[in-house]
Amino acid sequence: MGGIRGPLAVLSLSLALVLPASLPALAVDAPLPPADGELVRVIDVTDGDTIRVEWPDGWWERVRYIGIDTPEIGHDPGEQDEPWGREATEFNRDLVDGQQVLLERDISDTDRYDRLLRYVWVETEDGWRMVNGELVAAGLADVHAYEPDTRHDQWFRQLHDEAIAAGRGRYGDGEAGEP
C-alpha cells in the first residue's frame, strides 16, 4: 500500500478544486486509506450500504458500511422501496460492483446480523475514495454514529452538511453527485 499517498494528494487537490467556493473549508481533513486494509472483490451490491465481498481464497462475506444509513429497498416480493433507496443502491453499484476494494476496520468486527462492519475504499483513476463518504456527499446517506465505531464521524457530518447546503440528492433538485 506504499503508493497510496501520492494519488490521495491528487484526489484532495481535485476535490478542493471542484467544491463550491461558497462552502467553508473542511475542519476535518479527508481520511486516508489504511495501510493495513484487506483487499477483496465486490461480488454483489445488496443495497446502498451493504455489499458482498470475496477474498482471494474464495471465502465471501457480507459487509455493512460503518457510520452511514441509506434508504432501504424492498428485497421481498411486494415490499416497497423507501424513497431514494434505488438511487442509493445504483450509486453504490456504480462505485463498487465487480471492483477490488479495500476494507478498513474500526473497533467492532461485525454487527448483530453477522455482517462485517467496515469503511470501504475503492481505487479510481483519481485515487482512493471512501464509498461511505461518497454516499453521504451525494446526499444519498444519513450519518449514524454507533459507538464505538466513530473514527470518521466528524468527516461524515461535514460531508452531510455540504450535501444539504449544495442541495444534492435527497436535499435538493433530485440530482445525486456523480460517483
Catalytic residue among 64, 93, 118, 129: 64
Q: Among this protein's residues, is 5 annotated catalytic?
A: no
Assign 172 to helix, strand or coil. Answer: coil
Distance CA 132, CA 46 (A): 15
What is the residue whose three cell numbers read 485515487? 127
Selection from 23, 38, 66, 25 nearest residue 152 by Cα: 66
Q: Among this protein's residues, is 64 annotated catalytic?
A: yes
- Rg, the chain, Cα only: 16
Catalytic residue among 38, 54, 61, 72: 72
Q: Among this protein's residues, is 115 annotated catalytic?
A: yes
Distance CA 38, CA 21 (A): 36
Assign 103 to helix, strand or coil. Answer: strand
DSSP string, 10-38: HHHHHHHHHS-TTSPPPSSPPP---TTPE
Which amino acid is located at 110 in the chain? T
Catalytic residue among 87, 93, 115, 134: 115
* Catalytic machinery residues: 64, 72, 115
